[in-house]
Amino acid sequence: MSDTKKETPGQLTGGANAAAGGRNQGCEECTRREFFARLGIGSLIMAGAGSGLFSYEYFSPNVLFEASPIVKAGKPDQFAPNSVTMDAQSGIYLVSSAKGFYALGAICTHLGCLTAWKPELDLIACPCHGSRFNRDGIKVAGPAPQPLPWFKVWLADDGYLMVDRSTYLKVQEFVKV
């Protein structure tokens, strides 16, 4: 308090806050009590931030025992022409069309339920909230906000069709065999 009185009126009107902040910044005129209180608060803030970071790191697993995104779908001759074959385990549809093979994600884009192929309707249907998709993955009914994703498909050297569930295609690609 005493040092603010020493300041000129000009300084006071211009930057009372800045002057107060400046006075405290280096803690040059702190009492011992203020100094230790600041040290304590600062340490608590650092400890709190450290605990937050520690918890976040601790609760994020570094190693996951989840299935590989790349799956072996089968040999091309296993799939009948113009068919939709679901693999529930890996959550994909392998579609054999006139243009070639492609793969769709079977996880509904609404809330993540596993969809099912309904041959009698020629549609992919989700049991949870009634979304329906055609065999190109385009939504035809229901709450799904996006079409089913197209995954990257390629023919491996051993003659198997491979699907990478982590690579989403932006443009439709077909694998001719």
Partner 1 sequence: MATTIKTEFDRLRNTAVWRSIFRSGSGASNLHRAEAVQQNLFLHLFSVKIRSRALDFKPTWYLGALTLSTFFILVATGILLMFYYHPSVPQAYSDMKDLQFVVASGVFLRNLHRWSAHAMVFLVFAHMCKVFYRGAYRPPRQFNWVIGVFLLLVTLLLSYTGYLLPWDQLAFWAVTVGSNIAKAVPVMGNRMRFLLLGGNEVNANALLRFYVLHCVILPLAAVALVGIHFWRIRKDGGLYVPEKKQS
Interface contacts to partner 1, rule CB under 8 A: 56, 59-61, 64-66, 110-114, 128
- Find all residues with CB under 8 Å of 19, minimum gap 6, and list them: 4, 7, 11, 12
Tell me the closest approach of the beta carbon of residue 38 to partner 1, in angstroms.
31
Q: Is the separation of the CB atoms in 59 and 52 below 8 Å?
A: no
Beta bridge partners of 71: 163
Q: Which is nearer to partner 1, 127 or 159 (CB)?
A: 127
Q: Which is nearer to partner 1, 59 or 77 (CB)?
A: 59
Q: Which is nearer to partner 1, 74 or 91 (CB)?
A: 91
Tell me the closest approach of the beta carbon of residue 116 to partner 1, in angstroms.
13
Tell me the closest approach of the beta carbon of residue 66 to partner 1, in angstroms.
6
Tell me the closest approach of the beta carbon of residue 129 to partner 1, in angstroms.
8
Q: Which is nearer to partner 1, 17 or 65 (CB)?
A: 65
Chain centroid, CA 38 distance in Å = 40
Q: Which two tokens stand for residue 134?
A: 């055609």
